[in-house]
Amino acid sequence: MSGKFESTDPGEIQVPLGTATAARMYDEALGGKDNYDVDRAANARLYATIGEDRVRSTAMENRRFLGRAVRFLSRECGVRQFLDVGSGLPTVRNTHEIAMEADPQARVVYVDIDPIVAAHGAALLSGGSTRVITADMREPDSVLDHPVVGEMLDFDKPIAVLFVAVFHFVTPAEDPARIVSAFRARQAPGSYVAISHLTTDGMSDDEQAGWRAGFDGATVPLVLRSKAEIGDLFAGYELVAPGLVRPWQWQPFGEDSPRTTSLYGGVGVRSGS
């Protein structure tokens, strides 16, 4: 499978191996191997308070949503450029694999704050139309002005920006709407955004507390938001059918996905000037 992951100098972004990271916790929940004792211990806290099946099902439901969104964008919408922000570690059915099924020349840039993501990507994949960079999406210009992004993606043409299960790691003070707006401002009309997010809607107080406790001591805190708050992140985009729904409900294509009430997900198109 084509795709080159280029590791870049992370500069001042340093993630100590003794601290759990969202990328590696997600990898463990999906059954991956690119995680450490500290990540497994953090997930064990989640499993103890929420239930292992619930946590793993939430992770897989989210992953299936990512796959269907990329499939829809590449096959139905003709998108050939993807910026996968907060991508996490490479696993099965990655964004570039799905996009390249529609067009082998599709271009994908993965972005994550954890430098280990770049290191593993470089070790696992080879080719020429996919790269990975280490950057902090909370500083959008560090992504949008990155030389690899400029080399790989043409912002005068439609680009899909993927924020899949990342904004629940952005605090209100860091202003997730500001982040989306910065990316939207660079996108051409006809571009897309995909967002999924852990939600308070349908969660008991105990479950909400359990999710937050699972990320105590991790590199980022966990912020749960209501459906309305998640919907606000799509400002400037028009939601495509079926709108903002549970991820398993989003254009299921007959796929057998776990069904939880942990998340909401949706895809929006940027129209106008």
146-193: per-residue pLDDT in tens? 999 999 999 999 999 999 999 999 999 999 999 999 999 999 999 999
Backbone angles phi, psi at 75, to 5 degrees: -85, -45
pTM (two decimals):
0.91
CA dist., res. 28 & res. 35, Å (int): 6
C-alpha neighbours within 13 Å on the C-beta side of residue 81: 16
In angstroms, the Cα distances linking 115 to 20, 61, 62, 194 are 13, 25, 22, 23
Q: Which of 156, 8, 185 is nearest to 80 (CA)?
A: 156
Per-residue pLDDT tens over the stretch 218-242: 778 899 999 999 999 999 999 999 9
From CA 58, how far away is CA 198, in angstroms rounded?
Answer: 9
The amino acid that residue 15 corresponds to is: V
So where are the chain's domains?
22-270
d(CA 189, CA 126) in angstroms, rounded, equals 32
C-alpha 172 chain-centroid distance: 18
Beta bridge partners of 164: 196
φ and ψ of 118, to 5 deg: -65, -40
- pLDDT score of 9: 42
pLDDT tens digits for range 41-61: 999 999 999 999 999 999 999
Q: CATH code for 22-270?
A: 3.40.50.150
- H-only helix segments in 6-94: 22-29, 37-50, 52-71
Closest to 48 (Cα-Cα) out of 165, 211, 169: 211
Q: What is the pLDDT of residue 15?
A: 54
Query: What's the rounded mean pLDDT across residues 112-134?
Result: 77
For residue 7, give every residue at least 6 positions away whose Cβ sits within 8 Å of its Cβ, in sequence order, or none. Answer: 118, 119, 121, 122, 132, 134
pLDDT higher than 50, residue 3: no
C-alpha distances in Å from residue 48, one per residue of 42, 51, 54, 208, 220: 10, 6, 11, 13, 20
